[in-house]
Chain A
Amino acid sequence: MYWNRRAVRPTHRAAMAAFGAMLALSGPTGAARADELIPFKVAISTPVVSILPVFLAADGGFYKKQSLDVDIISTEGGTKGMQVLLSGEIQAMHVGLSPVVAANAQGAEVRAIASTTNTLPISLFSAKKLTPPLPKGTTIGISTLGSETDIALTIALKALGLARSDMQINQIGGTSQRFAAMSAGRIEAAPLLEPGTTAARQKGFTEVYDLSAAKTPWIFDAVVVTTDYAKDHADAIQRFLKAYVEGAYWGMANPDKAKEVISRRFKTKDPAVIDSTYNEFKRLMPRDARPSVEGSANVIKQLASTGLKLRSEKVEDYVDLGPIDALEKSGFIAEMQRQYAVQ
């Protein structure tokens, strides 16, 4: 067995180069930031108006104020995000109640603990002026199957007297992705919310059905955690909620700063889109971030009516009001109202 010297060396070098490259590539990720901060990963389903407090808390510096090192990722879809939450990769998921109900039906133990949107702020748009509004075979974009946009679409189609099975439903991603896909012609219709709705109206898209007009109580977007995490990390959750609520109040009290955040995070420069997104946020945001019990009951009822076998229809099996109660009892929310003078 002889190793030819000339033969070995380049191989060696290649191997070392590969190893070196690996080290160089993996270097920065491993580096921890300040030691005293509690690492906390939160995922949003997509950058839209109903997750704005997550960004406001980051850009207003409130996570740091609460000694949290928060990492925000976007999963482009609620159900996918719920899978990620269950995997333990993140500590909290910002998502509607529907995936919570669906996951718990299959034996997961997750709860919504705070809400930004106790209604359905969704409108179904079509890229073309079609009669009837959505003929058979229309390609409709949603974020992911079973997520809030999907449920909303089901409700809208039913209200329009259309059959879901007649439509081509594609998983596209969040509102901005669906809007872009509609503009590009990749899909013909999609449920949208701000900043997508204003952009869609400007673009001349047809509003086929406005779900928000009905003002149905709902839980469209909420902070969701696993019961295990809630039990073992009550302190981290309180810190997160404090930063999150303060972010929301800071945004409501400082329109200019909040609009900067909207412009940067939602990647839009259009003042009309920014304004209406901001106004929508102020309209939707419950001042105590409390999930609506009536809304929860509606979501549960809706999912039960689609044939999903639920383990229970009790709201407390899907929503945990404990953390928000504790926050209120500590006087934090009253303090926020005083400090930021928001009614």
Chain B
Amino acid sequence: MLRESYLACERGILGALAMAVFLVAWEGLARGWWADLLQPALGTAANVLRIRPIFLASPSAIAEMAFQMYFVTGEIWPHLGLSAFEFVVGFLIAASIGIPLGLVAGRYRLLSYAVEPLLAALNATPQVALLPLVVLWMGTGLPARIFIIVLLMIVPILINSHAAVRTIDPKWLRLARSFSASEWRLFRTIVLPAAVPFLLAGVRLAIGRGMIGIVVGEIYGSAVGVGVMINQAGSTFQTTRVFVGILTIVVAGLVLSEVVRRIERRVEVWRPSTSADS
């Protein structure tokens, strides 16, 4: 009975256990618990296990600082707000350019041949290398940051929507054609539904890259943004604040990927058997 209920939530129990052990071990490093504990056995060598807070903030200090920044001073909100704004606008632009462009390019054979090498090159390039150029073109303000996010997000969206159309069995299209369906109807009834799972996979990848875009786009800046806050804290050696920034991005990333996963599960039924996403 007990064993069964343990097995039912083994994942949760073991996961929580591992996390707790990890946090305690970390706290102990920052607070010198382990150094004190091993002092009799190892002598001064045990001091290796005592890590100064400037190098590693303790979980409790991070939690306290996070609480302060979120609920007492509220100073994190403007940073978070601006970064979220950059992300959302960047995503909307990337999706509204990338999806139609990819679908159309995938639909017509010659057009597809024309864009394939460009997509491959774009895909192989770390687009962040363009950051210094983007700064030259648009400075380091909001437009530049959004641009770099669009640049990163549009690649998987473009590639996946292009590939989505190319994987549709041509038989279907020929069939629809022989019933003299219009091009628009074809798009709506065959191309789009078949493409949705691919598009979502692209969106999921784009989200991860968009987060990179936020952090990278804010490297140069000095005013507002979570990335800026992390850099500023790093420059003033406030390691606890750096960790609060990282934690904020972790939570945002987990929430976003969970949202996409839910949507994906909902459209699972549509997924053609050819696409196997991990």
Contact = CB atoms under 8 A, between A and B. Distances in A.
A106 B222 contact: no
Nearest to A139: B139
A107 interface: yes
A170 B53 contact: no
Contacts of A170: 140, 220-222
B143 to A, nearest CB: 12
Interface in A157-188: 165, 168-171, 186
Q: Is the interface of A mostly helix, strand, loop or mixed?
A: mixed
Contact residue range for chain A?
20 to 34
Interface stretch (B171-179, B201-209, B229-237): B229-237
Contact of A107 (B53, B136, B140, B231): B53
Contact of B222 (A79, A105, A171): A171
A140 to B, nearest CB: 9
B85 interface: no
B55 A106 contact: no
B236 A107 contact: no
B239 A106 contact: yes
Interface residues of B, number: 21
Nearest to A150: B235
B235 A106 contact: no
A186 B236 contact: no
A168 B140 contact: yes
A169 B232 CA distance: 12
Interface string A80-91: 101100100000
Contact of A168 (B55, B136, B141, B231): B141
Q: Is the interface of B mostly helix, strand, loop or mixed?
A: loop
B60 to A, nearest CB: 16
Interface string A86-129: 10000000000000001101111000000000000000000000
Interface in B221-246: 221-223, 231-232, 234-239
B55 to A, nearest CB: 7
B54 A79 contact: no
Nearest to A87: B55
B235 A79 contact: yes
Contacts of B185: none
B235 A145 contact: yes
Contacts of B101: none
Contacts of A79: 235-237
B232 A106 contact: no
B265 interface: no
Contact of B237 (A82, A165, A186): A82
B63 interface: no
A103 B54 contact: yes
B52 interface: yes
A168 B235 contact: no
Nearest to A103: B237
B186 interface: no
B227 to A, nearest CB: 13
B239 A83 contact: no
B237 A108 contact: yes
Most chain A CB within 10 A, of B221, B223, B235, is at: B235
Nearest to A167: B222
B135 interface: yes
A146 B141 CA distance: 20
A144 interface: yes
Contact of A146 (B53, B139, B221, B236): B236
Contacts of B223: 165, 168-169
Given A102-B236, A168-B140, A186-B136, A145 B52 contact: no
Contacts of B139: 139, 168
A86 B55 contact: yes
A145 B238 CA distance: 13
Interface string B124-168: 000000000001100111000000000000000000000000000
B235 A108 contact: no
A186 B138 CA distance: 10
A303 to B, nearest CB: 10
Interface in B248-272: none
* 5 nearest CB pairs, A to B: A145-B235, A106-B237, A169-B222, A79-B235, A107-B54
Interface of A: 79-80, 82-83, 86, 102-103, 105-108, 139, 144-147, 165, 168-171, 186, 308
Given A79-B235, A86-B55, A107-B53, 6 more contacts: A86-B54, A102-B237, A106-B236, A106-B237, A108-B54, A145-B236
25 contacts: A79-B235, A83-B234, A86-B54, A103-B237, A106-B236, A106-B238, A107-B52, A107-B53, A107-B54, A108-B52, A139-B139, A139-B140, A145-B222, A145-B232, A145-B235, A146-B235, A146-B236, A147-B235, A168-B223, A170-B220, A170-B221, A171-B220, A186-B135, A186-B136, A308-B236
